[in-house]
Structure 1
Amino acid sequence: MPAAPPRRCCPWPAGSYHRTVKILRRLKDGSLLGVSGRDITYLSSGALISQIVLVVGQIVTARLYTPEEFGHFAVVLAWANILAVLATLRYETAIPLAATDEEAGALARLCLITSTVTSLVVMTLLWASATSGAELIATPGAWWGVPLLLWGTAAFAAVRMFAGRAGAFGRVGRAGVVASVGQVGVQVGLGVAGVSSGLIAGQGVGRVLNAAWIGAGGALRSGGSLRQVVTRWKRMPLLNTVPALLNVISVGAVAPLVARWFGVALAGQFGFATRLLAAPAVLLGQAVSQVMFPRLARLERTSGEAGAQLRRATEALTLVSLPVFSVVWLLGPEAFAVVFGEQWREAGLLAAIMAPWLAANFVSSPLSTYATVRDQLGRILLISVVEATVRLAGLYAGVSAGSAIVGIALYSLAGLGICVAFTGWVLALGGVGRRGLLRDLAVPLVIAAAAAAVSVGTRWAGAPTWVVVAVGVAGVLAVSVPCARRVLRLLPGRSR
């Protein structure tokens, strides 16, 4: 009697199983999305889970903390981000450029040492000022938050670069998930307990967890000489620190100025909006940047040919940014009010105003790594000075006009112009034909501009909310379809 055929352990059809295995195998060997696409997917998958956790956490914390508490949190976070740039002196940007792994390890170890020393010095100064009754950061009782966030941010920047050079993108993605869970857990727990500084504590725990989970064992065991790398890469702190500092002040750490000029509550609305808008950049933009930087550096060292990858990345980033940010600039106030509560409608309006600039920044920020690879530090410094001056002048114009909306609109418009100009310069630096790229992107860009114009016109005409929402949804769909079609053509093996 013949033996009965073995039973499958699960009801999954064999055909579906084999197709899934084939897709996963192609993803792993790079034939599905390309090698860069594979590594970006590894990072983005972890970032996706992290951002889902953080967005859910923000929905909860929006109802546990007031705009004023978010404002104080934004001020502390801004100071930590500013000081984190000074803590590493931008030596972490040299890690992918180092000639040997020993030299890269020494650079990472140097950044960890300077970050620790800087954090201890800042902690001592802020503790002394708090005990004497002088709050240097104008956020009562939160002096401890700046050094905590400072160390976590600076250490993470160094170990992330070191892990990226080694290709450990999976570990970086997992670290982000652990950090986001820890951050949200602490923020929600302390919010329920009524601790006003819970946002600061949770952010600090998250950043420290992120750096610690990635680890820097290879860097700490490296035999490279600290003195040699300080001397060899001294141009990094000399030419790269100021542009990075100006970028942080004018983009990611403008909350203290908003709080001073327009009030702490508006700074809370502004910070709430910018953190939500930063989610796509964290989800994909940073992943692209982290993968591209060492890869472009290697291409320049070996063949000097990086233009093709630069063009492909620019087109892909643009096609992703348009539908993602169109949701915000077309539906911002209504979406924020529904998801986070009516008290955050103003944050939705600010998000809609800033969305075009942040969509452009989503593209230009990862591309900036190529300018560093090409040793254009002097030009980057000049661009950063112009950008910071124009952006902050636009924001201050709102003070003169007596309107925060005017100031933030001019601030965003200046950022949009700078990002577009910077992207064009980087593409020219890589020998990429800009006319051909614009021709390929013309349809999505025109549709996005038309959708924005119709949405603004509908709002100015005082149309009912359901009409505004219907127009916004239609606009998002109109932008998304051509972008999705174009992205599919960029996949390996597809015709353009």
Structure 2
Amino acid sequence: MTNAPEPDVRPGALRQVFALLGGTLLAQIIAFVAQMGVARLYTDTDLGYLGVFTSAATLGAAVAGARFDLSIVLPSPGHEASARSLARLASRCVLAASSLATLVAAVARPWLEERYGRELAAWMLAVGVSILFLAQGQVCSYWLTRHRRFRYIAASSVVRSGAIAALQLLCGLLASGGLGAAIGATVAGQGIAVAYLSWRSRDARTRSAEDPPVREVARRYRKMALVGVPNVVVDAVRTSAIPLLIAGYGVAALGQFNLAWMAMQAPVALIAGALSQVYLPRLSDTPPGQMTRIVVRVGATALALSLPAFAVLAWVGPALFPFLFGQRWEAAGYFARALAPWLALTVASSPLSNVFVATYHQRRMLAFACVYCLVPLAWLALSPYRIEATVGVLGVVMASLLVGMLVMVLATAREYDRGGKNRSAWAGEGAA
């Protein structure tokens, strides 16, 4: 049994969680209030096409850093030089991926025009810029996470939500809505957010003679890319393909679904986002013997916060959405009710999924991610029901899968406590 000191998971961690919760809460309030105006300026078709654009950008941003962005958190405090080199490597991967995405959008433009129309096809040429902003923001966020600068991450959430909301409302008023105003405002807001993050993480760009070459850290952390990227790709395909399959029922249906998803994601981002940011570096440093206790504490806290919140949202959703956003958004309220079980479990599973990263059991996460991706896509593609019933079944099925994931997390934590792999040896830090 190790005699290592117990990691600080209480006062310091809770202060950091509340710091992130405060920033995320304000960001979600801004976004939610702004959507009341956005929903009246833009049609459900406009927001449906915006969902197609953001789905493609989210897919590209998820893999753009090749998981070297997440690796920034992993080197021990004595290996700051490696973290700086990893930040440079991740940024180069992001630039290459965003350039490739622009090229793919240009080549695919005839197909996009045929499927979605000329206006969206033209705006898809900007998807590479959106990927650049989103993915580079993740690189900066992981650098700030490494150094526990959570107040800046919280502030960046407010900057992003405020910028996107203000620009969407302003552009919507000036242009009387429209797809171009929705996408242009979104991308511009993302740019403002990454500019703020880049400024706050500018010490990541300093150079030292001690910094290992980028090729060396790429080789040392290649397992993060080889094992982690497929997992991220699967998750990103699921996240992006679900809206695209719903668009098959009608672009307006996707607009209704996206509004429900945005509103219901507010508590998910508020609770799960803060817990994930704070506990990822701590999970990475947790010695065997203490992981299960942290997993149980985080999971119980997340469920205690999420279950009552989503129960209330499911109950009032059908009446609340038309009241807040306008009568044409009645279907979004029923979508919100259907999504409640799924998103309630997401709050608990999202921060705890980092256990697979911290214990280097990402193959288990990949196996689950494949099932978690294939099941909803197969259901949406093959469902014989109308969109409302289809989404209702989807919410129950996805919640059931997440219960299975929580069982996997607990089993992995217990296995690690009985003698898991040493983090630094696996990653190559300090290895002979």
TM-score (ref. length: structure 2): 0.87
Asked if 2 retains the 8 angstrom alpha-carbon contact of 1:317 and 1:362, the reply is yes
Amino acid across the alignment from 1:158: V
The 2-side partners of 1:85 and 1:293 are apart by: 17
* Number of residue pairs the alignment of both structures matches: 396
Give the alignment of 1:182-261 within 5 angstroms: 182-193=163-174, 194-196=176-178, 197-215=180-198, 216-222=201-207, 223-251=211-239, 253-259=241-247, 261=248
Counterpart position of 1:473: none
Match of 1:82 among 39, 59, 67: 59
Segments of 4+ moved more than 6 angstroms: none
2:290 to 305, 309, 313: 305
Which whole-Å deviations, capped at 9, do the CAs of 1:256-300 have from their partners, x for residues lacking one? 1211x2011111111111111111122221111011110111123
Change (3 A) 1:55 1:252: farther
Q: 1:429: which partner in 2?
A: 412
The structure with the larger Rg is 1
**Which digits, 9 at most, give the CA deviation of each residue in 1:310-340, with x for residues without a partner?**
2111111000001211122111110101111
Task: Percent identity, please.
Answer: 26
Q: Which of the numbers 162, 169, 179 marks the counterpart of 2:143?
A: 162
1:34-113 equivalences in 2 (<5 Å): 34-99=11-76, 100-113=79-92
Aligned residue among 344, 354, 359 for 1:374:
359
Q: Bigger shift: 354-363 or 273-282?
A: 273-282
Change (3 A) 1:140 1:195: farther
CA–CA distance in 2 between the matches of 1:287 and 1:135? 40
Contact 1:321 1:362 in 2 (8 A): yes
Match of 1:4 in 2: none
Q: Which amino acid in structure 2 is aligned with residue 71 of structure 1?
A: G
Superposed displacement of residue 206, structure 1: 2.5
Could you tell me how far apart the structure 1 residues matched to 2:294 and 2:108 are?
Answer: 50
Structure 2 equivalent of residue 121 of structure 1: 100
Runs of 5+ in structure 2 lacking a partner? 1-7, 416-432
Letter in 2 for 1:369: N
**Deviation string for 1:405-431 (max 9, x for gaps)?**
232123222211111110111122223
- CA drift of 1:164 comes to 0.5
Choose which of 129, 140, 156 in structure 2 pairs with 1:175: 156
Q: Residue 277 of structure 1 corresponds to which residue in structure 2? A: 264
Structure 2 counterpart of 1:311, one-letter code: V
Q: Which residue of 2 aligns with 1:420?
A: 403
Please report the TM-score for the alignment, with normalisation by the length of structure 1.
0.76
User: 1:326 & 1:252 partners in 2: Cα distance?
Assistant: 26
Q: Which amino acid aligns with 2:61?
A: A
**Pairwise CA distance, 1:376:** 0.7
Q: Do 2:86 and 2:217's aligned partners in 1 also have CA atoms closer than 8 Å?
A: yes
Match of 1:149 in 2: 130
Distance 1:137 1:121 in 2: 21
Q: 1:346 to 1:128 in 2, by over 3 A?
A: same
Q: Does 1:340 align with 2:321?
A: no
Which one-letter code corresponds to 1:243 in the other structure? N
SS of 2:13's equivalent in the other structure is helix
Structure 1 residues 327, 298: closer, same or farther in 2, change over 3 A? same
1: CA distance between counterparts of 2:312 and 2:18? 23
State how 1:393-408 maps to structure 2 within 5 Å.
Answer: 393-398=378-383, 401-408=384-391
- Structure ranking higher on relative contact order (CA contacts 8 Å, 6+ apart): 2
Q: Is the 8 A contact 2:322 2:333 kept in 1?
A: yes
Pair 1:388 & 2:373 matched: yes
